[in-house]
Amino acid sequence: MTVEPVADYGQHVPSVDQAARILYFLAGDSRGHCTLTEICSSVGIYKSKGRAILNTLRAANLVSRNDQEKTYSLGTGLIELSRAVLDRTDLSAAVAPYLERLAVYPGTCAFLALARESEFYVVARREGPGGLSVTIRVGYHYPLTWGSMGKAIVAFFPEAEREQVLAEGGFLFYGDPGSMPVDVDTVRRELDECLRLGYGVDLGAIQRGFSAVSAPLFGSRQLSRPVGVVTLFGTFPAEEAVAHGERVAAVAQEMRLRLGALFDGIA
């Protein structure tokens, strides 16, 4: 009789460890994309091994490849994984009472979106009575300069970073600009107003018939740059935007004071 050796499940599987290190390396790179040479050099593996691992991660949609530039970046499959994690952490339960206090009117939806590099991703939401014709899903992501969310977060960036966003152009504070250029001085004045009021406003520019107000959310340690935004979105008229904006700003401030450490650990 042959006795099979008992596997030592306390040992690490090298390929899995290397795959994890590749993902963390891509996540930590400020450019958002890296070459095969850069990845393998950082992880300490041969290119043939690195290419095989990256192809496996691509098949799982955890990594994407730009064939033209021959670079790799994180894949959209990670959004679904992060959504599942966030749904099961204390975050959703912790922010629920605050979002419920905002979404008390028919046709509104309150949600929390955290910022990561060039995007927001929705991590929690609550809909008001009556619901919305447009659903905002947990896990959905938006460009960082999108609508009232973009105004609220960029307005509170450190001045040099804010000016860099304006200098680079391509921002989406009013939706897709199309063929109509956006006057940077006008944007700068509106961002100054956001900074003064404590919230940003979109009155149907992104989607006709829908308004939104967003306030920046800060962690307990990260006070120089917002970690995300709290937004109230819905069919409320323009004349109610100020009252809603003040409510959202007050709730975002309370969330920072009471839950700031939680955002430090996630954002």
Which DSSP string corresponds to 87-133? HHSHHHHHHHHHHHHH--STTEEEEEEEEETTEEEEEEEEEPTT--S
Domain spans, the chain: 14-75, 79-266
- Which residues 6+ apart lie within 8 Å of 69 measured at CB? 33
**DSSP 3-state assignment of 148?**
helix
Supply the CATH classification number for the domain 14-75. Answer: 1.10.10.10
Domain 79-266: CATH class, spelled out: alpha beta
Q: With 50 as the cut, is the pLDDT of residue 5 above it? A: no
Q: What is the pLDDT of residues 153-184, one digit of tens each?
A: 999 999 999 999 998 888 899 887 765 677 88
Q: With 80 as the cut, is the pLDDT of residue 219 above it? A: yes
The token duo for 232 is 């109230």
Q: What is the pLDDT of residues 33-44, one digit of tens each?
A: 899 999 999 899
